[in-house]
Amino acid sequence: MEFGPIFRSLARSKVRYGLIVLEIALTLAVVTNCVSLIRDAQKELGKESGFDDENILSVRSQPFAKELQEKGTLRNSVRKDLDVLRNLPGVKAASNTRFLPWQGGGSSMESRPVGSKGPWLRNQIYNADDGTFAALGAAIVEGRGFTRAEVEAENARLDALFAAPRELGGDGTPKNKITQDVVISRAFARLALGEGSPLGKRLEDSDGDQYLVVGVIDRFYNPYGWPIHEYVMFFPSSSANYAGGSAYLVRTEPGALASVSASVEKALLASEAGRNVKVQTLPDVKDGFQASKKLVLRVLTGVIVLLVFVTSLGIVGLTSFSVSERTRQIGTRRALGAQRADILRYFLLENWILTTLGLSLGVFLAVALNAALVDHFHTRRMDAAYLAGGVLLLWAAGLGATFFPARRGAAVAPAIATRNV
């Protein structure tokens, strides 16, 4: 093997070969981390919400007529709207709730088991009426959902609270504590209350208010700014808001989404004008939320292809230059009996050594870059398989980029050694 001549040749051009080694190392570090980020993003994009996404409509009603913005009118409008929506052909369920899956945010709070001295646990919070879980297609796996009576009672309490806020004690928390029935996700039940049935157990917030678990939904996923995507608590109440109008979720029969979507606005305005109605399918909401992530995936994929291509070009250029620079040396070796396969093997081995040096450095850079991403952006740790795959990819790319210039060098005739002598 020609290790001695190769290392002596590399030592005579340290800067040239050092740059290609550094390029290979940086390519491995960036490519493997990009692949890791892409795979993590694809897993996020592939997550299921646990709802009947393909058959859900979001409906927003915003009144502009003053008579529709009065305190008692809006709640009456909600009741009328729900009757209209539930009686449309193709509708399975309708709900008055501000919760919108795939909106990429919402409301949250911190809670923990009553009497616990453990950490506060953050969870998403949304209102729900007696039709919310049916409208979502979310199965109640333990306990029950909310009744119309519970929703109306909570609405009355909120109206009274709006008129006369609770009196605060010396510690800044309300004097009169309340207890509310809530429905939570199975994931939050396990996080906050451990294994076993959570029904009848209580959670509390920092104000001392308590929340009695009366029901559990099986699956829940809604992307959020914090990593609390599976943790949620639903309260019984209407979403009627005197400034923001009202919001509905409508679940249709399979295949009826388009027809129901086309009829919702006309039906609501026929029932009560003086407002704007916006209708959006949940698949459109989801596509809008995921659009930026899909763009990032395309950009990262482009970065991978570009880096591997540029690195391969660099190797081709370096090998071509080395062949041109050592034409007479190759001719001399051929004149002394070297076969074409010997010359080809020489350049392939030289490239393999350079690539291996670059990949050895690249492994450390890749691990360091991944650690920085984990610390600063809370990404997942890179799978070692991605690193191994990157090494194999760049080995193959390096040898492939070297082959054709090396084959040209192997074709140099022995007579070249005696020219101009």
Block means of pLDDT (10 residues each) for the chain, 421 residues, are 67 82 94 93 90 97 79 80 96 95 93 95 96 96 95 84 76 82 97 96 94 96 92 88 79 97 96 92 96 93 93 88 77 77 85 91 95 86 93 91 84 66 45
CA distance 253 to 43: 29
CA distance 232 to 189: 9
CA torsion angle 353 354 360 362 (round to 10): -160
> How many whole angstroms from its chain centre is CA 299?
15
Q: How far is CA 363 from CA 134, 355, 357, 358, in A?
A: 51, 12, 10, 9
Q: What six digits make up the tokens of 122? A: 């953050």
Q: Which of 280, 127, 109, 83 is nearest to 209 (CA)?
A: 109
The residues facing 10 across adjacent strands are none
Pairing of β 179-185 and β 246-252? unpaired
Four-residue CA torsion sign, 38, 42, 45, 49: negative
Four-residue CA torsion sign, 175, 179, 180, 185: positive
Q: What six digits make up the tokens of 390? A: 């990157």
Q: Which of 208, 407, 421, 404 is nearest to 328 (CA)?
A: 421
Establish how many alpha carbons lie within 13 A of residue 319's alpha carbon, considering only the half-sphere containing its beta carbon.
Answer: 32
Using an 8 Å Cβ cutoff, are 236 and 178 in contact? no
Identity of the amino acid at 95: S
In sequence order, which ranges of 185-239 are alpha helices (DSSP H)? 186-193
Four-residue CA torsion sign, 176, 181, 185, 191: positive
DSSP category for residue 55: G
Q: What six digits make up the tokens of 69? A: 């913005």
Within 8 A by CB and 6+ apart from 63, the residues are 69, 74, 77, 245, 274, 275
Residue in the structure block whose two tokens are 């859900």: 56
CA distance 55 to 81: 19
pLDDT attached to residue 56? 98
Put residue 172 in one of left, alpha, beta given phi > 0 → left and psi -120 to 50 → alpha.
left
Put residue 197 in one of left, alpha, beta given phi > 0 → left and psi -120 to 50 → alpha.
beta
Put residue 39 in one of left, alpha, beta given phi > 0 → left and psi -120 to 50 → alpha.
alpha
3-state helix, strand, coil in the chain (%, to 5): 55, 15, 30
Within 8 A by CB and 6+ apart from 292, the residues are none
Using an 8 Å Cβ cutoff, are 140 and 220 in contact? no
pLDDT attached to residue 416? 64
Residue 245 phi, psi dihedral angles, 5° rounding: 75, -150
pLDDT attached to residue 240? 66
DSSP category for residue 219: -
